[in-house]
Amino acid sequence: MLLSSKKLELELKAKLFRGLADTSRLSILETLRTQPLNVSEIVHATGLRQSNISNHLGCLRDCGLVTSEQRGRHIYYRLTDDRIDDLLHMTEEILSDVANGVYQCTRYESPTEPYQ
């Protein structure tokens, strides 16, 4: 049915954006924009806890945004698709114009950071 395929597409799109809608996941993706990294390296690069990273990577992997590959006892993660980098780049350009509005939008704050 057309209606339900529209709806499905909408949910897929929302789900993809939810994958990008969190600072921890975004910072993971940012570290992977330049090269593949294993989990320890991501932990070191982002400063986030290992279990936290692992949970987010699970999400990103399930959603197809990253893929993993075992090498020795490390598991390396990389962006699945170059267009994810393009997408991030395009949002940076949009933000450079719209940033004021986004900055002022207080409806959906980033969750306050717990102490580490």
Which chain residues interact with DNA by CB under 7 A?
18, 22-24, 38-40, 43, 48-59, 68, 70, 72-75, 107-109, 111-116
Stretch that binds its own copies, among 4-12, 32-40, 70-78 (CB under 8 A): 4-12
Find, among 62, 70, 48, 77, the residue nearest to 19 by Cα: 62
- Give yes or no for residue 99 binding its own copies (CB under 8 A): yes
Q: From its own copies, DNA, none, which one binds at residue 34 (CB under 5 to 8 Å depending on kind)?
A: none
Bridge partners (DSSP) listed for residue 105 = none
Bridge partners (DSSP) listed for residue 74 = 71
Q: From its own copies, DNA, none, which one binds at residue 49 (CB under 5 to 8 Å depending on kind)?
A: DNA
**In angstroms, what is the minimal distance from the CB of 86 to DNA?**
23
Q: How many other C-beta atoms can be found within 10 angstroms of the C-beta atom of residue 41?
A: 16
The whole-angstrom separation of Cα 55 and Cα 61 is 10
- List helix spans (H) across the chain: 2-20, 23-34, 39-46, 50-62, 82-104
- Give the binding site for its own copies (CB under 8 A): 9-23, 26-27, 30, 58-59, 61-65, 80-81, 83-84, 86-88, 90-95, 97-108, 110
